[in-house]
Amino acid sequence: MKGVCAGLFASGVSGVFLLLGLLIAMKSLHLVRRGVRADAIVVDIESDSDGGSYPVVEFVDQSGASHRVTLSVSGGGERLGTSTTIIYAVDDPTYLIGTSFSQAWVFPVVLVLLGGVGVTLGVGILFGGVPVD
């Protein structure tokens, strides 16, 4: 019974990570395919309480409107005044991602990998392939 509970728990929690990673990856892929690329300038760096830093970029959309948006993920190399390329949604220019791998793909890839490994272990526990004492 202990193995069944552990297997179900591991599979369930890991399945959430896997699905979340896939959803984020699908949203990023949709934005890459259908979004508009624009040059942006890093105008500020915001810090959070955990010591993370996030670049604030300004760019001009297709209609000529200027936008100032904080990226949700830092690529690590952003400095004030540097230019970067972003991809934004046409219907909501504040929804955007950077074009570097670290900005667009690292988070969903990590979630999918962790979720996949966890689901595999959970199924192994459920069906007796992984011993649980």
The 3-class secondary structure across 28-42, one letter per residue, is: HHHHHHHCEEEEEEE
Please say whether the beta carbons of 125 and 13 come within 8 A: no
Where in the chain are the domains?
2-126
Share of the chain above pLDDT 90, in %: 36
Q: How many angstroms from the chain centroid is the CA of residue 122? A: 24
Q: Is 133 helix (H, G, I), strand (E, B) or coil?
A: coil
Greater confidence (47 vs 3) lies with: 47
This prediction's pTM: 0.70
Q: Please enumerate in sequence order all residues whose Cβ is within 8 A of that of 1, keeping only pairs 6 or more positions apart, or say none.
A: none
Q: Which of 73, 92, 65 is nearest to 84 (CA)?
A: 73
